[in-house]
Structure 1
Amino acid sequence: MPTLHTYDYAVIRVVPRVEREEFINVGVIVSCPGASQLQAAIELDTARLQAFAPQLDIESLQPWLDAIVAICEGRPDAGPIAQLPPRARFHFLTAKRSSVVQMSVTHVGRTANPANIVEHLLERMVRTPR
């Protein structure tokens, strides 16, 4: 029987008007300590986002989304948060915020294939269904 790894994940959302609480999913962040994995992936559907929020400056979002990925990767240029242990980075990134870029609540899953979690979640939670 394959080893099952427990992982936590959150969906990265763009909330153009925070007071309305409407959002579009644009990425995922996954923490799987058993596989030494902390990873984020972003997939912006700019046409969909533009139709949803025409007033939103999508270009100004990109640095914030890129910072999530950089912190997960622990890049030296991503600031002091990126130098924390992986679980601390995950908890920092998934903390509740009232901003245009937000995370969903965290969820738990189990998998025998930790390398495929991010792709699976992008397909299920972010990409427009075919």
Structure 2
Amino acid sequence: MTRTPYEYAVIQAVPRIERGELINVGVLLYAQRHDFLKARTHLDETRLLCLDPAADVTAVRAALESWEATCLGGGASAGMKLGERFRWLVAPRSTILRAGPVHMGLAADPAAELERLVELLVH
């Protein structure tokens, strides 16, 4: 199979922005040639609560679900193209969830590559 370019960013939880501490909680992957945009998330509650014992785990989980829904065209992203959704999600923000820097790669199967990146960078 031919490998094609993709872009990805690690989704990070930053429960106390003033401390600058974070944990990786997911990966967002966009492959334009495959019309592919998905987020896979995994929240390690124990790690999150180590950074901030008062963190609202339920709210963080809901926010992560909204990232996955945005990839699928849910909510305000309904009329956006995949590339627009990806750029919206990776735009800088000052919330408990943010995207890290965008990186590039090559893969024949974006879905398999997303799973590989989640295992490597999140689990």
Q: TM-score, normalised by structure 1?
A: 0.89
Give identity over the alignment, percent: 37
Rounded to whole Å, the distance in 2 between the matches of 1:21 and 1:56 is: 15
Pairing 1:8-87 to 2, within 5 Å after superposition: 8-74=7-73, 78-87=74-83
Residues 82, 89 of structure 1: 8 Å contact kept: no
Runs of 4+ in 1 over 4 A off after TM superposition: none
Q: TM-score, normalised by structure 2?
A: 0.94
State whether structure 2 residue 85 is matched by structure 1 residue 92.
no
Question: In structure 2, what is the equivalent of residue 106 of structure 1?
Answer: 102
Is 6-15 or 47-56 further displaced after alignment?
A: 47-56
Q: Give the Å deviation of 1:35.
A: 1.2
Q: Kindly provide the CA deviation profile for residues 55-95 of structure 1, in whole angstroms up to 9, marking residues without a partner as x.
A: 11111112211111001011xxx323232000000000000
Listed as ranges, the gaps of 5+ residues in structure 2 are none
Higher helix share: 1
Listed as ranges, the gaps of 5+ residues in structure 1 are none
Q: Give the Å deviation of 1:12.
A: 0.5
Q: Give the Å deviation of 1:52.
A: 2.6
What is the count of residue pairs matched by the alignment?
123
Question: In structure 2, what is the equivalent of residue 117 of structure 1?
Answer: 113
Instruction: Calculate the aligned-residue CA RMSD, in Å.
Output: 1.1
Rounded to whole Å, the distance in 2 between the matches of 1:80 and 1:57 is: 24
